[in-house]
Structure 1
């Protein structure tokens, strides 16, 4: 009888310890909702950040000139729900750059003018201020917002060979990536519109992100046989460098010049046996970490 009582007491004690541990370490409240293309909502608890909003209806704009499948109109698919739901609970908007498929006239019109807007440089800031946005902030190397540390990471929107060609270099322009950090929550590295570079490798090594958001549509311009953003092989490179990270692959199936689809990437991840590490959300899908 005494042995039974001791066993029960031990189990109860273990249960109390487990509950106390759980109470001291609440479950993660971090999530990424894929909206469409490169548009995503990142939530750290009550702080919600909207990245690269392209909010037009299907077919609102011509295809990008001198690119793959330029005869198609953009965006090639509708938003998964109405704009009000896209903007619901958003505390700030972050732009990696202001190309049409990351910041479009619809977003300029529909996002409230008092919304906090983070941009990479003075040129992008001037563009937004010229449209009447009242709280435009040029993101420094590191910034705290709503308890989230936001860091800028260098990105390169095309190969070195492309940047030797004018006016293509001007067209590709300057872009940035972001790292999001909050105590007790997973670190997210959003690479943005970039090819594989030393800066990307350095960011992964420096921040050791738990989640890496990659634009993997392998967009192509005429005259070059490599992309202006990442593709399938880059997914393997990132996984090899950060095998414990979850990769969230986006920027596919929504604008004309993408050469890699979700279906293509799914097949590739199975061939390379990395499908458990690469998440490929559908439009409107939310992934919680």
Structure 2
């Protein structure tokens, strides 16, 4: 298995012979204004797409965990071919159908494509009223023979749902959306330092990868902030924090960080 961070939550997976694109946000830097009611007015995205040999506009399969603009944007809708198979959560399918995509699959619980088995998980995109306003979000677990079980948690804080997914599927690779994204009021809506630490402690034998940082204006925890926090919790080097464009290769024998 190879996993590459493109930018923010956009991932490229090479898994069981498939090239899989996750949560594509492909717009140019500063094309979008700051999210409203957030702590600064910096335009988004804060970072350019990295220079990479990966042709991430031509995947075999696309996964979209939810349709917030930093996970699915107009540039992705324009640049991806319309017949690419696309997995999403129930209720989001019309977004893709109306954009012209012809092979959209809303995954209720499980879906199989070629030799890969997908299971949809849930989460909480914040707490209280903010979580309700943010709407439903999903994650996905990938399983295939001779590949490590991999869990893409999506936009969720640490709560009962990701804990249950880890207990149920025992993933060997876990990707979490960090950054501690927040509005001017309320708690974070994605994982912050304590949440990432909780994931690692809940799954000590898994490779935990933290993404979703340094690209969107209301993600207040940077990569450096997260690394510093984890070091203060005696977890220095135990969570992978990739740069844009950086990739990792795993198999079931790879020792976790």
TM-score using structure 2 length: 0.93
- Higher helix proportion (structure 1 or 2): 1
- 1:93 corresponds to: 62
Structure 2 residue 169 is matched with structure 1 residue 207 = yes
- Paired with 1:200 and 1:178, the residues of 2 have a C-alpha distance of 11
SS in 2 for 1:96: coil
- 1:152 corresponds to: 120
Contact conserved, 1:245 with 1:277, CA < 8 A, in 2? Answer: no
Contact conserved, 2:28 with 2:49, CA < 8 A, in 1? Answer: yes
- 1:265 corresponds to: 226
Alpha-carbon shift at residue 160 of structure 1 (Å): 2.4
The CA deviation string for residues 113-151 of structure 1, in whole angstroms up to 9 with x for no partner, is 1111111013x1111111111111111311111211110
- 2:32 corresponds to: 61
SS in 1 for 2:111: strand
SS in 1 for 2:56: helix
- Higher-Rg member (1/2): 1
- Paired with 1:117 and 1:192, the residues of 2 have a C-alpha distance of 16
How many residues end up aligned between the 2 structures? 250
The CA deviation string for residues 162-211 of structure 1, in whole angstroms up to 9 with x for no partner, is 24xxxxx33x1111011111112111111100011111111111111111
TM-score using structure 1 length: 0.83
Contact conserved, 1:246 with 1:279, CA < 8 A, in 2? Answer: yes
Match of 2:195 among 223, 231, 234: 234
- Paired with 1:246 and 1:152, the residues of 2 have a C-alpha distance of 20
Alpha-carbon shift at residue 161 of structure 1 (Å): 4.3
